Amino acid sequence: MDCPLPISRYDKIVMGHGSGGTLSAALLRQVFLPAFSNDLLAKLEDQASVTVDATRIAFTIDSFVVRPLFFPGGDIGKLAIHGTVNDLAVGGATPKFIAGAFILEEGFPIADLDRIVASMKAACAEAGVQLVTGDTKVVERGKGDGVYITTAGIGVLRPGAALSVHAVKPGDRILVSGTLGDHGIAIMSTREGIEFETKLESDTAPLHGLAAAVMDAAPGLRCMRDPTRGGLSSTLNEIAAASKVGIEIAESALPIRPQVKAACEMLGLDPLYVANEGKLVAVVPADQADRALAAMKAHPRGRDAALIGKAVPEYPGMVVMTSKIGGSRVVTMLAGEQLPRIC
Amino acid sequence: MDCPLPISRYDKIVMGHGSGGTLSAALLRQVFLPAFSNDLLAKLEDQASVTVDATRIAFTIDSFVVRPLFFPGGDIGKLAIHGTVNDLAVGGATPKFIAGAFILEEGFPIADLDRIVASMKAACAEAGVQLVTGDTKVVERGKGDGVYITTAGIGVLRPGAALSVHAVKPGDRILVSGTLGDHGIAIMSTREGIEFETKLESDTAPLHGLAAAVMDAAPGLRCMRDPTRGGLSSTLNEIAAASKVGIEIAESALPIRPQVKAACEMLGLDPLYVANEGKLVAVVPADQADRALAAMKAHPRGRDAALIGKAVPEYPGMVVMTSKIGGSRVVTMLAGEQLPRIC
């Protein structure tokens, strides 16, 4: 990844360091990677693949600080389970076990905690995972924001699975499993008090089933990612940088709901940068693209799947979008903060 | 565990819910256990033992919200690595992989983050673990407190290891690996501005080596715990409740530094309730107690180890301490909050 805004310009944390874009990447490269240098961390996948004895397992962690805690289509608890399940699933692993840690603010209503925990329970059941260990801490009023949840997860890697954002080759096709930006716009609309004629909900959902279907259909699958914080643009830029390929996408091919488009215009947002919490980006060899797309469309969570572009040998590390009117523009990574605390 | 203060008395989170005592236990029993009911979670160990394919691994998670972030003998980063390493070690596992998630407050100095990360790096190296995956989130100023760190860990269980707080039998001996209360008093002294003639530091340390030495010396080992939040009293009460035995300890046998004793008197604290971050409690069959104690004393982290008591058939679920002047008193679990944000 490029770091166009070097961290040295900042001596204090700014909200943009949490954006999932270039500032987040800069913080990672300048502070965390040099310290914890090891091959596993340096791969920058959404999960680490480790071998314990002879078993290959995937291991991941994410903190969730979304606000509001409850939003159309979900809540922080559901998001925390789905996020961790999905980080395992996109790595080619079957999610198995979850650990959950809660940082509670003094004064937080226990009734709200009950709702969140019930939601996590249902999400675990749907994803076929067990929450097996946990922790709770309490901080004083004004030192938190209700509840922050951190979930870690373990999954079993499929035999032979070696998905990697470094594995993409020119000619490969880029698929997305459905409409873009639903989660981010559902959250922002709630915060801004925007109402739609038709209900817009977060797309938060577990992707293990869809991911398995894609793996079955396309044995040559290069990599999968869930385009969460930072949106599709961050995911594609990460793939382009890691695999040293260019990526071309067609604006006309992007599945976006009309109300998301409208809200983006109203809020001055670009749907390419808006978070998704139940969508899969998959990169497959060209000759397996049709089968992979068909497998997505046949799955309940992939009905709006689309082929949106391809990897090219030109301009390695860059993402270029051809617009509906024929022009083209570089899709850079989100620099700072567009939507803070979206997950 | 008993829940003398039922959660129904509270409809909002209070600081005591983070104490590690009865209020924490009540929150766990009323909110979390019913939701995520499964045999693994219900064991209430400090780590979950799960089987992935044929490999038995231990899995744990903890959030760290200690304040101040830097204290004599350590910092939040060191504590986060040690805490997770130790939760694996006391379960009979060799710690292998760590995941780290950071919740950063807007405005937090990156120089402080660098110091914390460097400290985590050193702690990982000392404990022989790799930090292989991570996450960072940023929250607005006033919604956090500098940085909160959540660490999850994976370890490989020793073949045959089946340590459990449910396994203690009457007659078993209770060992502690060193002086009590050093971490909690180091933190509280810093907060309160108390100075000692001799330096008092947190005992934060990795316990995997010491734990392995005890397992080697005492093959009949019943269980180990690190008496962190809630102190020795919480650990012993948990063991007594889980194994349905009484536990008798002798005040005169407890290793406590003079300056910790003095500070406890000054602050109105009981050292039995003060957190440790580098001490091991081990329960062993009577005939293996000498060997286990010798193994502790032979280890650099166990030089002040002591045999402090035994399990008895009388008063199951209770902990009783005979005082230096011959009387005895029930050592109850910490009810509410004694030392908030100690870890």
Q: How far apart are CA B169 and CA B312, in angstroms?
A: 8
Q: Calculate what percentage of chain B has a pLDDT beyond 90.
A: 73
What is the rounded CA–CA span in Å between residue B233 and residue B319?
A: 8
Q: Are residues B207 and B316 in the same domain?
A: yes
Residue-range definition of the domain harbouring residue B85: 46-157
Kindly report the average pLDDT of chain A as a whole number.
91
Check CB contact of B143 with chain A, cutoff 8 Å: yes
Task: Note which residues in 50-69 of chain B have CB less than 8 A from chain A.
Answer: 50, 52-55, 57, 59-65
Enter the tokens of residue A238: 């990460």
Asked if A33 has any chain B CB less than 8 Å from its own CB, the reply is: no
Query: Is the pLDDT score of A7 beyond 50?
Result: no
Same domain, B316 and B218: yes
pLDDT in tens, A153-188: 999 998 887 899 999 999 999 999 999 999 999 999
Q: Does A325 touch chain B (CB under 8 A)?
A: no
The reply to whether B245 and B129 lie within a common domain is no
Q: What is the CATH number of the domain that holds A192?
A: 3.90.650.10
- Chain A residues in contact with B50 by the CB 8 A cut-off are 96-97, 132, 154
Taking the Cβ of residue B42 and every Cβ of chain A, the question of whether any pair is shorter than 8 Å is answered with no
SS3 content of chain A, % helix, strand, coil (to 5): 35, 25, 40
pLDDT at B320: 97
Under 8 Å between Cβ of A77 and A84: no
Do residue A111 and residue A245 come from a single domain? no
Q: Are A253 and A186 members of one domain?
A: yes
Quote the number of domains for chain A: 2
Judged by a CB distance cut-off of 8 A, whether residue B152 touches chain A is: yes
Asked whether residue A133 falls in the same domain as residue A197, the answer is no
Asked if residue B167 belongs to a domain, the reply is: no
What span, in angstroms and rounded, lies between the C-alpha atoms of B21 and B232?
A: 11
Q: Which residues pair with A98 in a beta bridge?
A: A131, A153
Residue A4 has pLDDT above 50, yes or no: no
Beta bridge partners of B161: none
A201 and A63 fall within a common domain: no
Query: For testing the chain A interface, which of B55, B135, B229 should be mutated: the one with the most A CBs within 10 Å?
Result: B135
Give residues 266 to 285 of A whose Cβ lies within 8 Å of B. Answer: none
Is A70 within a domain? yes
Q: To the nearest whole angstrom, how far is the Cα of B25 from the nearest Cα of chain A?
A: 10
* Residue A304 predicted with pLDDT over 70: yes
How many A-B residue pairs are in contact by the CB < 8 A criterion?
281
Q: What is the CATH number of the domain that holds A120?
A: 3.30.1330.10
Q: What is the dihedral of CA A206, A233, A70, B44, to 10 degrees?
A: 50
In whole angstroms, what separates CA A277 from the centre of its chain?
Answer: 6
Q: Counting Cβ atoms within 10 Å, is residue B331 exposed (0-12), middle (13-18) or buried (19+)?
A: buried
Positive or negative torsion for Cα A261, A266, A272, A274: negative
Range with lowest mean pLDDT among A73-87, A322-336, B297-311: A322-336
Give the residues across from A94 on adjacent strands. Answer: A156
What is the pairing mode between strands B93-105 and B130-139?
parallel
Summarize pLDDT for B21-80 with one digit per residue, the tens.
Answer: 788 888 888 888 887 777 777 777 778 888 787 788 999 999 999 999 999 999 999 999
Mark whether A299 and A193 lie in a shared domain: yes
Return d(Cα A305, Cα A299) in angstroms, integer: 10
Whether A114 is in a domain gets the answer yes
Residues B165-176 pLDDT 10s:
999 999 999 999
- Give how far B207 is from chain A: nearest CA, Å: 20
Predicted complex ipTM: 0.93
Please tell me whether residues B203 and B270 are part of one structural domain.
yes
pLDDT at B8 over 60: no
- Does residue A339 have a pLDDT over 90? no
User: Does A258 touch chain B if contact means CB atoms closer than 8 Å?
Assistant: no
Rounded to the nearest 10 degrees, the angle between the axes of helix B289-298 and helix B208-217 is 150
Task: Give the span between the Cα atoms of B87 and B152, in whole angstroms.
Answer: 10
Residues B122-142, mean pLDDT to the nearest whole number = 94
Per-residue pLDDT at B199 exceeds 50:
yes
Q: Is A51 exposed, middle or buried (0-12, 13-18, 19+ CB in 10 A)?
A: exposed
Return the number of other C-beta atoms located less than 10 Å from residue A307's C-beta.
18
Q: Answer with the one of A131, A157, A183 that is the final residue of a domain.
A: A157
Number of Cβ within a 10 Å radius of residue B166: 15
Per-residue confidence (pLDDT) for residue A26, from 0 to 100: 83
Which of B12, B111, B145 is facing A109, going by the closest CB pair? Answer: B12
CA distance B337 to B320: 22
What per-residue confidence (pLDDT) applies to A52? 80
Vertex A37 angle, CA A33 and A38, to 5°? 125
Please tell me whether residues A188 and A291 are part of one structural domain: yes
- Does B325 touch chain A if contact means CB atoms closer than 8 Å? no
In a domain, B163, yes or no: no
pTM of the model: 0.93
Per the CB < 8 A criterion, the answer to whether B247 and B311 are in contact is yes
Backbone φ, ψ for residue B20 (5° rounding): 85, 5
Contact B321, B180 (CB under 8 A): no
Cα–Cα distance, A284 to A130 (Å, whole number): 31
pLDDT at A253: 97
Looking at residue B138, its pLDDT comes to: 93
pLDDT at B55: 83
Tell me the per-residue pLDDT of B250-281, one tens digit each, with 9 for 90 and over. Answer: 999 999 999 999 999 988 899 999 999 999 99
As a whole number of angstroms, the distance between CA A238 and CA B245 comes to 56
Residue A86: pLDDT band by 50, 70, 90 thresholds?
very high
Residue A308 falls inside a structural domain: yes
Could you tell me if residue A11 is inside a domain? Answer: no
Instruction: Based on the fold, state whether residues A141 and A271 are members of the same structural domain.
Output: no
Contact state of B13 with A110 under an 8 Å Cβ cutoff: yes
Cross-chain Cβ contact A61/B101 below 8 Å: yes
Say if the Cβ atoms of A40 and B132 lie within 8 Å. yes
Chain A partners within 8 Å of B96 (Cβ): 50, 52
Residue B162 lies in a domain: no
Residue A194 located in a structural domain: yes
- The number of beta carbons lying within 10 Å of the beta carbon of residue B320 is 18
Do A141 and A195 reside in the same domain of the chain?
no
Q: In which band, very low, low, confident or very high, does the pLDDT at A320 lie, cut at 50, 70 and 90?
A: very high
Asked if B122 is an interface residue toward chain A (Cβ–Cβ < 8 A), one would say no
pLDDT of B120 over the 50 cut: yes
pLDDT, position A44 = 72
Q: Which residue, of B157, B184, B214, is where some domain finishes?
A: B157
In this predicted structure, what is the pLDDT of residue A97?
A: 94
Check residue A5 and give its pLDDT.
45
Is B131 in CB contact (< 8 Å) with chain A? Answer: yes
Residue A286 is classified by DSSP as: G
Strands B319-322 and B246-250: parallel
